[in-house]
Each structure stands twice: as structure tokens, then as C-alpha cells.
Amino acid sequence: MTEPLRTAHTADLTPAELHEIRAFLDTAFDGDFSDDDWDHTIGGLHAFVRDEHGLAAHGSLVQRRVLHRGRSLRTGYVEGVAVRADCRRQGLGGRVMDALERAIDAAYALGALSASDEGAALYESRGWQVWPGRLAALGPDGVVPLPDEEGTTYVRPAAGRKLPEASGALHDTLYFDWRDGDVL
């Protein structure tokens, strides 16, 4: 039997559910999930699957602003995607991404995420593309280049839109809004 997928905004989750999601992500990321990472994961749409053992998969989508060629793009940024170890390779990550991508298509100009080596294949199989240009953030003291994020930051245009292609736009810089911890 296929377990149901649930979506809910952070505001609609109980404190116990939020605690469960945080503990799940701490475990899924082998203790390498900081308070800043948690802060980046909340405040938007969560998609998750539970089974008889608890959470089996989770991902969230939060709004960010990305500047590209002088335009501010409302961007759905994917965070906190994880599948419990005993449930991997069963399609749960794809189900979570289906829900998040539907939200991107309905409400955003662009989807973006930073992929781990382990997660990159999932996103590539779904049509996400590595941003080939430069990456930077608009920090408190000005522009902060993010060369370490280049090659691991993926984008996906919302349905009916295309990634910018005219006159080398794909190689222009994406400027992300600033946040504490890992900017991307």
C-alpha cells in the first residue's frame, strides 16, 4: 500500500509535528543539520510521508528572491529533502518533489535548490539543471560571491516558463537574498 503524502504550511503544523520533522532531518543528515538549516526549512510548504515507523520522507519549499539581469524573481527554494534510510529507492523522494514542483509551477517564476552529491541524481532525473553561471548573495555589506556553490545549485523554471537564454543570460550571475548560515 502506498502511504499518503501530506502537504501543510509550517503554520498549520503542531509543535509536536515540527519537533518530529526536525528530529527526522537531524537523523537523515547524520547530525549535520544546524539550527540555521532548520530556520531555512520552515516558513513555507512541507510535503511529507509517514508510515508505521514515523516520517519516511520530507521536503519543504520556502520563498526567496533571486535577482537575475535586473529582475527580482519570486523563487521557490527547496529545503530539507530527505528519505529515511530504510525507505530509499522506493519513489518517496519523487513523490515529495512532485508536490513541491506543483507549488513552484503555481506560485513561482523559478525553482532552486542546492543538491548534495547523493541527491543530485534525483533532481537531474526530474529535469532540474545545474545553473551554469555565477552565484552570489546580496549580503549586509554588498555582493558576496559564492563560488563553492557553483556546480551544486540547481534551477527549474515554473511550468510554461523557460530559463533565460538570450545573449548569454544563462551565464549571468544569480544573486540570492541573504540569510544566516549557508546562504544556499
Report if residue 92 sits inside a domain.
yes
Q: 184, 176, 174: which is closest to 69 by C-alpha? A: 174
Report if residue 54 sits inside a domain.
yes
Give the CATH number for residue 11: 3.40.630.30
Q: Which SS3 state, helix, strand or coil, does residue 44 take? A: coil
Cα angle value 32/36/39 (rounded, 5°)? 120
Domain interval for residue 85: 5-177
Report if residue 183 sits inside a domain.
no
pLDDT at 32: 93
What residues of the chain score a pLDDT lower than 50?
1, 166-167
- Distance of alpha carbon 183 from its chain centroid, rounded? 12
Percent with pLDDT over 90 in the chain: 84
Q: Which SS3 state, helix, strand or coil, does residue 128 take? A: coil
Report if residue 182 sits inside a domain.
no
The pTM assigned to this predicted structure is 0.93
Q: 71, 77, 75, 79: which is closest to 172 by C-alpha? A: 71
Report if residue 184 sits inside a domain.
no
Name 58's bridge partners. 48, 82
The total number of structural domains in the chain stands at 1
CB 115 within 8 A of CB 101: no
Could you tell me whether strands 153-157 and 110-114 are parallel, antiparallel, or unpaired per DSSP bridges?
A: antiparallel
